[in-house]
């Protein structure tokens, strides 16, 4: 008997190849076994199947995590080496070379190592574990590739597929289930050969299901990349994907009880894309809802300086002024936005709202003015008094609001329902204000008659 120089398995007499890693050992058949050699049971040995299965152990989570760490470190060194070489050679497409190197290592080199006699990636070789099918056989290249791509699905679901290793009977992760593989210590992988073969039909169905799952995940990723490229008109880069992911996460929590967390995510995204007006606009909206108006204004100024022709930013500035009761300033911003696009019904509605708010403030102010006027008057004040008529003629802001609303309805007739409700509510307020002025005058007149000394 001899020990296999590759995997250390004790090869029975008469065999010229290792039954575990299939290495040709015909040249070393006459060499004696060195060291404390362990004699392992083979499929041909007369041993009960249940007894052999009791000795099988599988690589645990932490051992496999260490192997994965070594693989990532090796891949990172390769990518960093390509980056350094590209910078020294002043090569322009360094990022492409780095991406090809990383993909080549994880999707070509590691599957090749897994489907070879080593049956393991470099990290797993260092940790003394191997990858086989459920019966201890070496997997094919396409199956090893399926296993590596299956890890990508685990990443999409926040690594849950990896944590399954610590809770399943055979220490299998999601990628192991999809590719029908197991990971065992190298010295005990041969014990799997004593198990009865798996059902071929069931295995084929499982592999087909795994291929469908992996293909669907890759298709979903391609659709996301297409969205970034064609809808957002942004180049598809790892940095751009990371930025958009942060923005989506911030949008998800912006309307919850964690606005501070959303702002921190927006700030992180802005560190990657400082002049992205969309992110700045989102941050302004959150700051405005939190009542941090001064910070929102400062953020908005930075956004408008970076993108002076962005209509969304101009409208956001108008909304900020409107919420701060600076209606004239809001109208100026809305008119600037309409100068960029006069067919935006939403901006016309906002402009009408601003004029309507001015009209309501003016009416309330005039009522207070007439209250003080009648209080100071020594005689009766008639409704036909010229100063009283000024109140009823001061409806210019209200007419401007109606004009803006009419433009919005012309552009989009569906807005008529929303606008009608606003006009009805505001009209009731205005009529109530007018009636209040008349009531105040009537009260003062009756008081003057009842008390001539006044």
The string of DSSP letters for 270-337 reads HHH-TT-HHHHHHHHHHHHHTT-HHHHHHHHHHHHHH-TT-HHHHHHHHHHHHHTT-HHHHHHHHHHH
Q: How many residues does the chain have?
A: 454
Q: Are residues 79 and 187 in the same domain?
A: yes
**Counted domains in the chain:** 3
Whether the Cβ atoms of residue 259 and residue 290 lie closer than 8 Å to each other: yes
Nearest residue to 107 via CA among 151, 156, 77, 61: 151
pLDDT at 261: 82
Of 16-30, 88-102, 140-154, 339-353, give the lowest mean pLDDT range: 16-30
Interval 75-123: pLDDT, tens: 999 988 888 887 777 665 676 788 888 889 999 999 999 999 899 999 9
Of 188, 217, 246, the residue at which a domain comes to its end is 217
Q: Are residues 111 and 182 in the same domain?
A: yes
pLDDT at 384: 47
Q: Are residues 23 and 116 in the same domain?
A: no
* Dist. CA 195–CA 182, nearest whole Å: 13
Task: Look at residue 390 and tell me whether its pLDDT is greater than 70.
Answer: no
* Dist. CA 263–CA 310, nearest whole Å: 22
Q: Are residues 116 and 212 in the same domain?
A: yes
* Dist. CA 178–CA 145, nearest whole Å: 11
Q: What residue ranges in 145-202 does DSSP mark as E strands?
A: 181-185
Whether the Cβ atoms of residue 350 and residue 380 lie closer than 8 Å to each other: no
Nearest residue to 234 via CA among 264, 271, 279, 284: 279
Q: What pTM did the predictor assign?
A: 0.50
* Dist. CA 97–CA 136, nearest whole Å: 37
Q: Which residue has the higher pLDDT, 174 or 35?
A: 174
pLDDT at 154: 86
Q: Are residues 392 and 441 in the same domain?
A: yes
Q: Is residue 415 part of a domain?
A: yes
Q: Are residues 152 and 20 in the same domain?
A: no
What's the domain range around 11?
A: 1-39
* Dist. CA 362–CA 58, nearest whole Å: 81
Backbone angles phi, psi at 134, to 5 degrees: -70, -10
Mean pLDDT across the stretch 430-446?
Answer: 61
Residue 5's pLDDT band, with cuts at 50, 70 and 90, is low
* Dist. CA 333–CA 342, nearest whole Å: 13
Q: Are residues 194 and 120 in the same domain?
A: yes
Q: Widest CA span of the chain, in angstroms? A: 137
């Amino acid at each position: 008997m001899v020990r296999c120089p590759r995997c250390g398995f004790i090869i029975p007499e008469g065999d010229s190849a290792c039954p575990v890693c299939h290495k040709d050992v015909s040249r070393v058949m006459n060499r004696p076994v060195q060291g404390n050699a362990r004699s392992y049971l083979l499929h041909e040995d007369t041993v009960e199947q249940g007894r052999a299965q009791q000795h099988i152990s599988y690589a645990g989570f932490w051992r496999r995590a260490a192997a994965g760490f070594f693989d990532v470190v090796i891949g990172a060194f390769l990518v960093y080496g390509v980056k350094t070489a590209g910078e020294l050679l002043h090569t322009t497409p360094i990022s492409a070379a780095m991406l090809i190197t990383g993909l080549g290592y994880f999707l070509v080199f590691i599957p090749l190592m897994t489907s070879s006699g080593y049956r393991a990636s470099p990290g797993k070789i260092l940790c003394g574990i191997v990858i086989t099918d459920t019966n201890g056989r070496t997997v094919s290249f396409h199956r090893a590739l399926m296993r590596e791509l299956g890890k990508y699905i685990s990443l999409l679901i926040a690594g849950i597929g990896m944590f399954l290793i610590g809770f399943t009977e055979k220490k299998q992760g999601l990628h192991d289930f999809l590719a029908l593989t197991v990971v065992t210590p190298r010295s005990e992988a041969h014990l799997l050969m004593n198990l009865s073969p798996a059902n071929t039909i069931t295995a084929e169905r499982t592999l087909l299901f795994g291929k469908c799952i992996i293909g669907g995940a890759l298709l979903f990723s391609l659709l996301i990349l297409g969205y970034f490229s064609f809808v957002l008109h942004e180049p598809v880069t790892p940095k751009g994907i990371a930025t958009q992911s942060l923005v989506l996460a911030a949008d998800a929590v912006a309307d919850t009880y964690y606005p501070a967390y959303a702002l921190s995510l927006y700030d992180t995204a802005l560190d990657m894309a400082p002049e992205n007006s969309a992110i700045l606009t989102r941050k302004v909206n959150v700051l405005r809802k939190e009542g941090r108006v001064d910070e929102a204004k400062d953020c908005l100024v930075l956004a408008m300086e970076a993108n002076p022709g962005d209509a969304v930013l101009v409208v956001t500035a108008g909304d900020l002024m409107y919420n701060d009761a600076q209606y004239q300033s809001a109208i100026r911003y809305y008119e600037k936005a309409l100068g960029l696009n006069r067919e935006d019904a939403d901006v016309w509605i906002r402009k009408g709202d601003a004029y309507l708010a001015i009209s309501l403030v003016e009416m309330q102010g005039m009522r207070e003015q007439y209250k003080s006027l009648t209080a100071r008057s020594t005689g009766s004040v008639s409704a036909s008094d010229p100063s009283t008529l000024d109140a009823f003629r001061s409806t210019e802001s209200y007419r401007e609001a109606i004009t803006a609303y009419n433009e919005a309805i012309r552009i989009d007739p569906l807005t008529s329902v929303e606008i009608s409700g606003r006009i009805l509510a505001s009209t009731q307020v205005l009529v109530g204000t007018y009636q209040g002025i008349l009531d105040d005058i009537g009260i003062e007149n009756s008081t003057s008659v009842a008390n001539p000394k006044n």
